[in-house]
């Protein structure tokens, strides 16, 4: 009598990478979303397990056969805060393995003898260079809320084959819901739905932090295959499909990004390259370095060989610097104090607070900090106060570059004109300008005199701004009008209130 052959649960999807699929039902058992774990065979012949699934009797037989009854299991690792249900079973079956969990695993299952938190970078590096692990940027990993749905963030790991958890999803043979309603095609890589609603931090920078993080992962890891918890696995072309998936997600991410106010008004942003007399370039500020932008930057700078420096000009314009540093590591990077604190992995050449940095290219490019009478290093009300920054003046073209200091009113709508106090097409100051002033009694006068001196020193004809475009011609006179308007209005009122009225220059 023939013996029924059970289908093997453990599948070697790439050399040394063993994937295990398991059922996982949602919607009260109506839909099987599936789940998985992966066992990676190290060069020593021992194994690490990434995530876990229910360890039934048949699966245990296969795991025992693969790992010599568990003696070859080095570690079992929790990779997603919400993939927790099977860990106690694995701990009971293989107590001699080391168990590492996310912070939520450690909090929820104190009976397991945890060897450490995978949130600790030193632990994520334990198996390099065979296995690399990263945590997506811009999202909460320790305690994602709400717990019922925000399951996006988790460890992404890379071996000869790549596997991920909830962050990415591979679509295999999409049915009516995924194919018809959601518009997903076969072998498409997409992102967990909570990315666009709950997963990202509620900050201006989070969408681009995540976008840049995925770009860096694509650049750094030479992967070809991918295994995901709720969408199966893909053999071949995974990097290409992740790149396409990120490009498809870019529109939705940009709707969440700081360049759109309340997700409705696209206020734009910018960066500027100035060619020096040597033929080399200095870049001021950064924007997202997508495929098209990088191709143009490469063409302009001879694949980055002519890019001498990248300079941060506003403390809150930070999101694309890591991507630029990875793409053009030979360039010198200069940051505001906030950049340097926020991105310690970038080998900063200097701080733009340092006067010696501001004069590096002085014969061709003049730079000044708006730090007179203004809180510059840690601007008060940081989520809104983006006024302070470095002003840049290109002497050859008489062009000033600014980020958030000034606004070209004619390039904005009614609400922005109202916010900057300009009912016509004159220039204006950033809406949070007054909040940027220091509490010093003389701060309004100090700033006003600094602006007058700057306009007398720099013969400004053109201006390029981050959020209101470019004005060719008449920029200097426009700035003088804006200064006099605010001196007679909000700035003058604050000066008078502090007991030191402004002496306005005709």
Mean pLDDT of 222-231: 80
- Pairwise CA distance, residues 378 & 435, whole Å: 12
Cis peptide before 358 (omega within 30 of 0): no
DSSP 263: T
Whole-prediction pTM value?
A: 0.50
DSSP 193: G
DSSP 177: I
pLDDT single digits (tens) 95-132: 999 999 999 999 999 999 999 999 999 999 999 999 99
pLDDT single digits (tens) 302-319: 999 999 999 998 887 877
Mean pLDDT of 175-189: 51
- Pairwise CA distance, residues 112 & 433, whole Å: 54
- Pairwise CA distance, residues 428 & 385, whole Å: 15
Q: Which residue has the higher pLDDT, 496 or 418?
A: 496
- Band (pLDDT 50/70/90 cuts) for residue 144 is confident
- Pairwise CA distance, residues 270 & 293, whole Å: 12
């Amino acid at each position: 009598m023939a013996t029924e052959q059970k289908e093997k649960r453990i599948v070697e999807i790439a050399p040394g990478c063993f994937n295990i699929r398991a059922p996982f039902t949602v919607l009260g058992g109506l839909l099987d979303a599936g789940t998985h774990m992966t066992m990676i065979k190290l060069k020593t012949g021992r194994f690490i397990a990434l995530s876990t699934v229910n360890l039934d009797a048949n699966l245990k037989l296969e795991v025992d056969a693969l790992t010599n009854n568990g003696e070859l299991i080095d570690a079992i690792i929790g990779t997603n805060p919400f993939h927790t249900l099977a860990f106690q079973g694995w701990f009971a079956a293989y107590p001699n393995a080391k168990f590492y969990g996310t912070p939520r695993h450690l909090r929820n299952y104190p009976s397991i003898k945890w060897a450490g938190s995978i949130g600790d970078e030193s632990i994520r590096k334990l198996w390099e260079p065979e296995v690399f692990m990263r945590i997506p940027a811009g999202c909460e990993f320790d305690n994602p809320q709400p717990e019922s749905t925000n399951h996006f963030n988790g460890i992404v790991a890379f071996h000869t084959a790549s596997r991920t958890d909830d962050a990415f999803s591979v679509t295999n043979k999409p049915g009516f819901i995924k194919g018809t309603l959601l518009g997903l095609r076969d072998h498409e890589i997409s992102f967990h739905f909570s990315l666009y609603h709950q997963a990202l931090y509620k900050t201006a920078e989070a969408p681009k932090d995540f976008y840049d993080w995925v770009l860096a992962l694509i650049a750094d890891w030479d992967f070809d295959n991918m295994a995901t918890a709720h969408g199966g696995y893909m053999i071949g072309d995974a990097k290409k499909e992740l790149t396409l998936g990120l490009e498809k997600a870019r529109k939705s991410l940009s709707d969440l990004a700081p360049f759109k106010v309340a997700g409705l008004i696209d206020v734009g942003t910018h960066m500027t390259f100035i060619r020096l007399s040597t033929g080399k370039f200095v870049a001021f500020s950064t924007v997202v370095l997508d495929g098209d932008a990088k191709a143009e930057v490469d063409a302009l700078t001879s694949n980055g060989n002519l890019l001498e420096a990248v300079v941060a000009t506003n403390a809150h314009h930070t999101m694309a610097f890591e991507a630029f540093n990875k793409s053009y590591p030979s360039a010198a990077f200069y940051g505001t104090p906030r950049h340097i604190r926020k991105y310690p992995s970038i080998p900063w050449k200097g701080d733009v607070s340092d006067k010696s940095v501001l004069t590096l290219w002085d014969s061709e490019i003049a730079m000044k900090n708006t730090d007179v009478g203004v809180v510059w290093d840690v601007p008060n009300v940081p989520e809104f106060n983006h006024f302070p920054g470095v002003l840049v003046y290109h002497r050859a073209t008489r062009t000033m570059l600014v980020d958030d200091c000034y606004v070209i009113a004619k390039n904005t709508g009614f609400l922005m004109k109202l916010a900057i106090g300009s009912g016509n097409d004159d220039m204006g100051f950033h809406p949070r300008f007054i909040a940027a002033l220091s509490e010093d009694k003389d701060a309004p006068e100090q700033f006003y005199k600094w602006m007058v001196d700057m306009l007398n020193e720099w013969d400004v004809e053109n201006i390029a701004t981050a959020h209101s475009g470019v004005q060719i011609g008449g920029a200097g006179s426009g700035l003088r009008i804006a200064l006099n308007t605010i001196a007679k209005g909000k700035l003058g009122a604050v000066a008078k209130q502090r007991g030191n009225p402004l002496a306005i220059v005709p």
